Amino acid sequence: MPDQITHFGVLVAEGVLVLFSLLSVAALVERVITLWRKQAAEARDYVLLREAFRKGRMDLVRERVLTSGAPCSLILGAGLRCPDRSLDGMRGAMEMEISVQCSRLLTRLRVLATIASTAPFVGLFGTVLGILAAFQKIAATGQTGATVVAGGISEALVTTIAGLGVAVPSVIFYNWLLGHANDLGLIIETHARDLEAFLAAQAVKADSITVREG
């Protein structure tokens, strides 16, 4: 019975590592595609919004904000939709949206970080159970020697290798994606600050027109 329990534990550890590997690949593919799309949309919409502001075409600005999912458009949209039409209110709304957009860049990265830190321990757990099963075999049969336990121990060590095989790529891809996400977050924030200045200039211009008309 104990031998069956340890064998079951090894199988569970192996199953968890297989699940971890699938999750890490899924998270990697999703983040690569998402970050690439966000970067492309950000580069495109920032140029379009900046040009629309330069031409004083607020209609084009609002149209782009309504139809685009680029981070800079979403941030600008938060400022335009702010109930408080003051400059401080719009800036505050954009600040909050900058934090939201930068945080979304890190989505799924926590999965890679968790797998990278947990997989080696899962592999070690399976190895310990496998070695325990090998020694239980010695106790049950009364036979000793390396040949008796070599097969069981070598099989148990496979889970350690599997754990490291899952963890090492997860660490590499996590660090790579984290650096890319941080770089993109800095670009988004820079674009948002620039568009915020254009929006503030438009708001001041509108207020001055209102004052003169009054």
Section 115-125 average pLDDT = 91
Confidence at 160, pLDDT banded by 50, 70, 90: confident
- State the pTM of this model: 0.80
Q: Which of 121, 119, 125, 126 is nearest to 11 (CA)?
A: 126
Section 100-105 average pLDDT = 94
- pLDDT beyond 80 at 169: yes
Handedness of CA 91, 92, 93, 98 (dihedral sign): positive
- pLDDT beyond 60 at 2: no
- pLDDT beyond 80 at 88: yes
